[in-house]
Amino acid sequence: MATQHSRAAARFMISPSVLLLLGWMLIPLGMTIYFSLLRYNLLMPGEHPFVGWENYSYFLSDPAFKIALVNTLLLVGGVLIITVIGGVLLGLLLDQVMWGQGIVRILVIAPFFVMPTVSALVWKNMFMNPVNGLFAYLAKFLGLQPIDFLAQAPLMSIIGIVSWQWLPFATLILLTAMQSLDQEQLEAAEMDGAGPFSRFFYIVVPHLSRAVTVVILIQTIFLLSVFAEILVTTNGGPGNASTNLTYLVYAESLLRFDVGTGSAGGVVAIVLANIVAIFLMRMIGKNLDA
Amino acid sequence: MARKVSTRRKAVNTGIAWTVGLLIFFPILWTVLTSFKTEAQAIADPPIWFNFHWTLENYVTVQERSNYFRHFWNSVVISVGSTLIGLAIAVPAAWAMAFVPGKRTKDLLMWMLSTKMLPPVGVLVPIYLLFQRFGLLDTQVGLIIVLTLINLPIIVWMLYTYFREIPVDILEAARMDGAGLKDEVISVLLPMAVPGMASTVLLNIILAWNEAFWTLNLTAAKAAPLTAFIASYSSPEGLFYAKLSAASTMAIAPILIMGWFSQKQLVRGLTFGAVK
């Protein structure tokens, strides 16, 4: 159907998007790679000599990098475990017959729409604060010693906050997948004598595996870049206890003004994210053919 | 879908689901309640639930002390502006890819998606320095540029999945009936494309409104949207729960309402059509 003429028109219509994204990708990316090879600190005016891999070896051998890398993995892994398991359970729950299903659904989805700085501050002050937070009241009510969550278990606390934000996303996607499950198949299995557990593990779980994969991959992309929650709760501390890779690069670049090292860290972050991205792209690409 | 269950079972389901739902929603509910208390009531021990003297003074104070509505307006300008500009750039591209697909359309879509995978911190330094150089730091224009670019792939993708569902045969039919190109676009295609475009706009405003990496790093006092303004409450002197709650409630209310309207499109938009 497509003629020579419409092809040319199509190319013309697509080109603004392509050119803008190409520029957005190549210019800053090229600059990051270039800066990562220079000794370049905003506090030290003058020349920016070429130093090769020096920034990389400095960044990678910094003890803070190892801590940040472990924290990043714990943060991503912890939130994924909580949201995927919680999402499956909540999805199953919301898929049941009940009164006011639409309203419950709305209540469960709501945290996803709360901006990161608000949810982090509300949790930090009104729940986790060791003096005035609701958790402290609850602890005192139960006769326990209140915990200073963000000082004693900063990373765990941030994992909790971020999980609260992402649980709705996992739930919504898994629920959507569950609702596309063929009910007749389940009923047939039930008639053949399959119990609730074997029905769940042999029919529901295989059906959900694709949605779970999508949830894991998309969340990972976003979770690798968690930033605002850390900035407003702990500033990466105490020490580096809650610093992830994103926060470490931010601190090198905009707090210590070390453009060279910050850029090297940025390249490391890009490489890590790309490993995940490749798997995600394959999943989505397969779907395009279907 | 109609499954028959006993009333008893339905009642149990309802009880459990409502309890869990309210627990998850509780932090938001508590924030809204606290915003109507006085500072003393907000930190009262034991906590006060509903029987306090409801007041609007926090909302007034927040506006008076920090010119709240300027930041609110910044959020509106930045999220709506970046979405509309993104839409203007993306509609032709998605249209062409959906109706005149070529051999490389799929590769092109995948490549656009891949730009979204770039972690923002990877390009923080150059963007910051470029912004500094061109005087874009702490300006609405600067943020609109960045947010347009980071959300462009999502807009193109969402529109593409919607446009692809428009049956092309209907165009043939319209042509047979003697419709010209102009009629074709305005009275046949447009009405079918509008719902998809509306969902795309809604979801992108939400994403842009809540974006909290670039807005925090590229703004200071002047162009700060609500994400960045609220972050200023993280300082110790910001331990005013009632005022924090009032500022937070106003910041999340519009988006909560929009979000509830767009929950169906959310899945499609955020999974790039991989789950529908």
| Nearest residue to B248 via CA among A232, A271, A137, A254 | A232
Q: What is the pLDDT of residues B256-274, one digit of tens each?
A: 988 888 877 777 777 776 6
B77 in Cβ contact with B140 (< 8 Å): yes
Q: Which residue of A has its CA nearest to B206?
A: A113
Picking from B13, B24, B276, the nearest residue to A98 by CB comes out as B13
Q: What's the gap in Å between the CA of B53 and the closest CA on chain A?
A: 19
In whole angstroms, give the CA distance from residue B78 to residue B214. 12
| Nearest residue to A250 via CA among A233, A240, A262, A234 | A262
Using the Cβ of B176 and the Cβ atoms of chain A, whether some distance falls under 8 Å is answered with no
Q: What's the gap in Å between the CA of B80 and the closest CA on chain A?
A: 16
The reply to whether residue B113 touches residue A284, judged by beta carbons under 8 angstroms, is yes
- Could you tell me how many residues make up chain A? 290
Residue A35, in any domain of the structure: no
Q: What's the gap in Å between the CA of B196 and the closest CA on chain A?
A: 18
Q: Is the pLDDT of residue A247 over 70?
A: yes
Question: Is pLDDT larger for residue A2 or for residue A258?
Answer: A258
How confident is the prediction for chain A on average, in pLDDT? 89
Preferred mutation among B82, B125, B152, B263 to probe A, highest tally of A CBs within 10 A: B125
In whole angstroms, give the CA distance from residue B45 to residue B42. 9
DSSP H helices, chain B, are 7-34, 39-42, 57-66, 68-99, 105-116, 124-133, 140-163, 169-176, 181-183, 190-210, 214-218, 226-231, 241-261, 263-270
Question: Is pLDDT larger for residue B58 or for residue B186?
Answer: B58
Domains of chain B: 7-57 (no CATH), 66-270 (1.10.3720.10)
Dihedral in degrees, nearest 10, Cα atoms B242, B244, B246, B249: -130
Total domains in the fold of chain A: 1
Residue A170, in any domain of the structure: yes
Question: Is pLDDT larger for residue A205 or for residue B208?
Answer: B208
The reply to whether residue A263 touches residue B113, judged by beta carbons under 8 angstroms, is no
Least confident of A31-35, B56-60, B165-169: B165-169
Residue A143, in any domain of the structure: yes
Question: Which residues, in sequence order, are CB contacts of B8 under 8 Å at separation 6+?
Answer: none
The reply to whether residue A114 touches residue B256, judged by beta carbons under 8 angstroms, is yes
Q: Is the pLDDT of residue B218 over 90?
A: yes
Mean pLDDT of A20-24: 93
User: B3: pLDDT confidence band, cut at 50, 70 and 90?
Assistant: low
Using the Cβ of B135 and the Cβ atoms of chain A, whether some distance falls under 8 Å is answered with no
User: A288: pLDDT confidence band, cut at 50, 70 and 90?
Assistant: low
Domain range enclosing A171: 53-289
Q: What is the pLDDT of residues A106-163, one digit of tens each?
A: 999 999 999 999 999 999 988 998 888 889 889 988 988 888 888 889 999 999 999 9
Q: What's the gap in Å between the CA of A263 and the closest CA on chain B?
A: 7
Residue A5, in any domain of the structure: no
Using the Cβ of B80 and the Cβ atoms of chain A, whether some distance falls under 8 Å is answered with no
Q: Which residue of B has its CA nearest to A115?
A: B210
Quick one: residue A182, left, alpha or beta (phi over 0 = left, psi -120 to 50 = alpha)?
beta
B chain contacts of residue A112, beta-carbon cutoff 8 Å: 259, 266
| Nearest residue to B200 via CA among B245, B247, B138, B153 | B153
User: B116: pLDDT confidence band, cut at 50, 70 and 90?
Assistant: confident
> Cα B177 from chain centroid?
41
| Nearest residue to A151 via CA among A137, A136, A173 | A136
| Nearest residue to B223 via CA among B145, B130, B140, B127 | B140
Residue A166, in any domain of the structure: yes
ipTM confidence score: 0.87
pLDDT at A43 (0 to 100):
83
Task: Give chain A's radius of gyration (CA, Å).
Answer: 24
Q: What is the pLDDT of residues B75-89, one digit of tens each?
A: 999 999 999 999 999
Q: How many CA atoms lie within 13 A of A128 on its CB side?
A: 21
A220 in Cβ contact with A80 (< 8 Å): yes
The reply to whether residue B90 touches residue A93, judged by beta carbons under 8 angstroms, is no
Picking from B5, B46, B117, the nearest residue to A97 by CB comes out as B5
Residue A20, in any domain of the structure: no
Q: What is the pLDDT of residues B124-158, one digit of tens each?
A: 989 999 999 999 999 999 999 999 999 999 899 88
Q: What's the gap in Å between the CA of A262 and the closest CA on chain B?
A: 7
Residue A118, in any domain of the structure: yes
Using the Cβ of B136 and the Cβ atoms of chain A, whether some distance falls under 8 Å is answered with no
Mean pLDDT of A218-239: 90
Say which CATH number the domain at A111 has: 1.10.3720.10
Residue A77, in any domain of the structure: yes
In whole angstroms, give the CA distance from residue A268 to residue A247. 13
Task: Give chain B's radius of gyration (CA, Å).
Answer: 23
Using the Cβ of B78 and the Cβ atoms of chain A, whether some distance falls under 8 Å is answered with no
pLDDT at A133 (0 to 100):
87
Mean pLDDT of A60-64: 92
